[in-house]
A = this chain, B = another copy of it.
């Protein structure tokens, strides 16, 4: 279990001894796929770090439509905002695979920060990156149509993986809710990008045929 602490961005720069200390305040929990980790409005008495599996953090409309804010991958923290605002969780978190999470109770964690301020610096970096992502999300939702948002997402994923071919590791319905739309519209948008010659779609495999063109289109 200490490997995940050691490899997490949040705890870079800590000594072996610090990690042991952290290890002592942590509670490990396991969730099967499809389980709620916390709900919007729940009191936030600590935060989580994903050890294995995957977790979606999302908002839900009264009508039941979901907007995914973030897909958490191993090593990433989630639910941290409540620790620092003292307010309830502002969104839902649900596993989309069998997952193991580490729970950090607020008090122990705050004490640890006081002792090792570099954790605070790391946390500031994590929150800042998240803010930057949210800014992109807001920009997309407010200023761009679905095909452009989809294009931007594909470019982002392709560059992250360093390939021009993406194999979706999430259902398309989830991708739809990540870019703020519904499966039908996503399907149509994929066809549209394909018809325009930017991509090639084969089930969950998407190949970018014209990266420059797609960038131009999605900007």
Interface residues of A (CB under 8 A from B): 59-63, 65, 67, 69, 80-85, 87, 90-91, 113-114, 117, 120-121, 123-125, 127-132, 134-139, 141-144, 180, 219
Which of B61, B138, B144 contacts A143, CB < 8 Å? B61
Chain B residue numbers with a CB within 8 Å of A143 are 59-61, 63, 65, 67
Query: Are A67 and B128 in contact, with the CB atoms below 8 A?
Result: no
11 A-B pairs in the complex with CB atoms less than 8 angstroms apart: A59-B138, A65-B142, A67-B139, A81-B132, A84-B121, A85-B129, A117-B117, A130-B131, A134-B134, A138-B138, A141-B180
Given contacts A59-B138, A143-B67, A219-B62, contact A127 B132 (CB under 8 A): no
Given contacts A138-B59, A138-B138, contact A120 B131 (CB under 8 A): no
Q: Give chain B nearest CB distance to A136 CB in angstroms.
A: 8
Which of A60, A61, A136 has the largest number of chain B CB atoms within 10 A?
A61
Query: Are A124 and B123 in contact, with the CB atoms below 8 A?
Result: yes
Query: Are B131 and A127 in contact, with the CB atoms below 8 A?
Result: yes
Chain B residue numbers with a CB within 8 Å of A139 are 59, 61, 67
Chain B residue numbers with a CB within 8 Å of A125 are 84-85
The 9 closest A-B pairs by CB, nearest first: A61-B143, A120-B120, A84-B128, A67-B142, A141-B141, A117-B117, A134-B134, A142-B180, A127-B127
